Structure 1
Amino acid sequence: MLQQFPLIDQPGQALRKPEPAFLTDDSAEILRFAAGALKAGMAAALVTLVAIRGGSSRPLGAQMAVREDGFYCGFVSGGCVEAAAAFEALDVITSGEDRMVKYGEGSPYFDIVLPCGGGITLSVHKLRDASPLLAVLNAMEQRQPAGLRYTPQAQTLESAPPVTKTGWRDDYFDVSYRPCARVIVYGRSVEAEVTANVARAAGYDVQTSDGFDPRTTFALMDADTAVILLYHDLNRELPVLQAALAA
């Protein structure tokens, strides 16, 4: 059920205007921003996309982090509702009461429109402990999957075993996190160089072969690694394919 609270802490206090701290879609950066706020003694909230009706530009589990000073990062839509969601988060930080908010289809906010025509529901949770966030960050740094579990009734967020799919399970919502996708580009050509630059621009963790012995990069392969073969030489590429399959 939606709850409405005033956006001003106390009479006469100026309204805090939400502003993006920086633009990112990276889960690790969002969680790091929130954990950093708590470590610095600031209150913060985590906003999570927990339901989609029709179309959505972000998947379930997309998140924003909002600090008590109004700065936020992350996306839960295509940029349509982030400022409004940050206002809700500031309310939650002030009241201490978590809430669910609907935008688009089924929402009471007729002036906040989702151009895709769908609707989304966001959970807004006041963070009380950085430990679950740090556990996820540590796992991703070790290139291991991780999870967060949010229970609305108890207003709790805790680390959870890795799950294969983000979504509701009984009374709680699980968010699955994977390490950053790694791309290893094999080749000694301008095509390989350009491909590596494009992959970096897209946000992948990009590694390149040394141009002589691709086996030096085999140790970097894991379940979240893709390989791109641009040697144009089957004799060179077959060992890479075998190593990728083994990983």
Structure 2
Amino acid sequence: MVATTPLDILRFLSARADEGVETVLVTLVAVIGGSSRGIGTQMAVAADGRRVGSFSGGCIEDAVAAEALETLADGWGHVVRYGIGSPYIDIRLPCGGGIDLLFTPRPDTASIRKALDLLGERQPAALRLECDRVTVVADAQEAPWNGECLTHCYQPALRIHALGQGEDLTAFARLAKAFGAQVHALSPDVGTCMDLAALEIAATRIQVRSTLPLTASDHWSAIVFLFHGRDWEEHLLPQALALPAFYHGAIGSRRTHRARLDALQASGVPLEQIARLRGHIGLIPSTRDPATLAVSLLAELVAEYNTLAHWTYWTGESLADAEQ
């Protein structure tokens, strides 16, 4: 994984509780001017000095960790500003702005684990963060800092079901796994499945062209077809379009995609399902090598995933609900 994720913060807090080590949860609650991190960014610091998460490129993390340990000793939470307007005149942010950080000592372990359980069940989770407590709230909808509390939401991890074979599939699966996505690769090619399994990437063999070995998906998942020939799409693609996902896509030229849509309509696939399918996918047009295709497609999926999270948390409804 290339960097810490929000779920890693929660897992860190839970793991330290198992060890009997006290912790402090630090949350960015306000930004003044510019900042490299957004509101809701978090860091966790343990009493033994271990920590996870960041608020800058290393400019203030040592100071935040020291403040967190003092917070544990004092026994009460508070908000501290770093950067412009801060009492710590020797600590400056490179962007020239300021951030307000909420230090919450000894966050409730039961609430942290309830949030992790919800996320493990592929459900959003929300925590109400205050100076002296952290509690799970039923409504997974963001609420900004009001001087006393902030409600911060966590989305289930990005899950990607990728179908294909050869280097296009393996390159994409490797990059997505490194990013931190939950990757499930499906391929008719035994060698491809073996290569992916050796990399500890979940891989399922597609035994026949008529049956998609995928029965469960959700609105936090993406389903992508990376086959260069459309023969594997004929029966598998209609089955995939019937499954919930925030993104359905298939590689190919615009000409290929038009033919694909015609074939789906001719086979009786409902128009609302056909409308979900993206063609000519990825942010970089006309990719010519597996590595560029992987970067192009993953960037688009992450952007769509973040849009889904933003919509869900600030409106209280899913994009799927809004489209109905």
Q: TM-score interval w.r.t. the shorter chain?
A: 0.7 to 0.9
In the alignment, structure 1 residue 45 sits paired with structure 2 residue 45: no
Equivalent residue letter for 1:239: Q
Structure 1 residues 91-145: Cα deviation after superposition (integer angstroms, max 9, x where no partner): 0000002111111222222322211222111000111531111111111111111
Give aligned pairs, total.
222
Q: Could you tell me how far apart the structure 1 residues matched to 2:76 and 2:51 are?
A: 19
Q: Could you tell me how far apart the structure 1 residues matched to 2:96 and 2:147 are?
A: 28
In the alignment, structure 1 residue 217 sits paired with structure 2 residue 214: yes
In the alignment, structure 1 residue 101 sits paired with structure 2 residue 87: no
- Residue 58 of structure 1 contacts residue 78 of structure 1 at CA under 8 Å; is this kept in 2? no
Q: What corresponds to 1:229 in structure 2? A: 225
Identity between Structure 1 and Structure 2 (%):
35
Shift of 1:171: 3.7
Distance 1:215 1:165, change over 3 A: farther
**Structure 1: 5+ residue runs without aligned partners?**
1-22
Cα RMSD of the aligned pairs, angstroms, is 2.3
**Structure 2: 5+ residue runs without aligned partners?**
189-205, 246-272, 274-319
- Point out the structure with max Rg over C-alpha: 2
2:145 partner SS: strand
Match of 2:106 among 119, 123, 127: 127
Distance 1:67 1:128, change over 3 A: same
1:215 partner SS: coil
Q: Could you tell me how far apart the structure 2 residues matched to 1:205 and 1:193 are?
A: 14
Q: Could you tell me how far apart the structure 2 residues matched to 1:231 and 1:141 are?
A: 30
Distance 1:167 1:78, change over 3 A: farther
Q: Structure 1 stretches (4+) deviating beyond 3 angstroms?
A: 236-239, 244-247
- Residue 231 of structure 1 contacts residue 237 of structure 1 at CA under 8 Å; is this kept in 2? no
Shift of 1:56: 2.1
Q: Could you tell me how far apart the structure 1 residues matched to 2:33 and 2:215 are?
A: 42
Equivalent residue letter for 1:237: L
Quick check: 31-40 or 187-196, which moved more? 31-40
Normalising by the residue count of structure 1, what TM-score does the alignment of the two structures yield? 0.81
1:103 partner SS: strand
Normalising by the residue count of structure 2, what TM-score does the alignment of the two structures yield? 0.63
Shift of 1:37: 2.0
Q: Could you tell me how far apart the structure 1 residues matched to 2:225 and 2:146 are?
A: 40
Shift of 1:30: 1.6
Shift of 1:24: 4.6
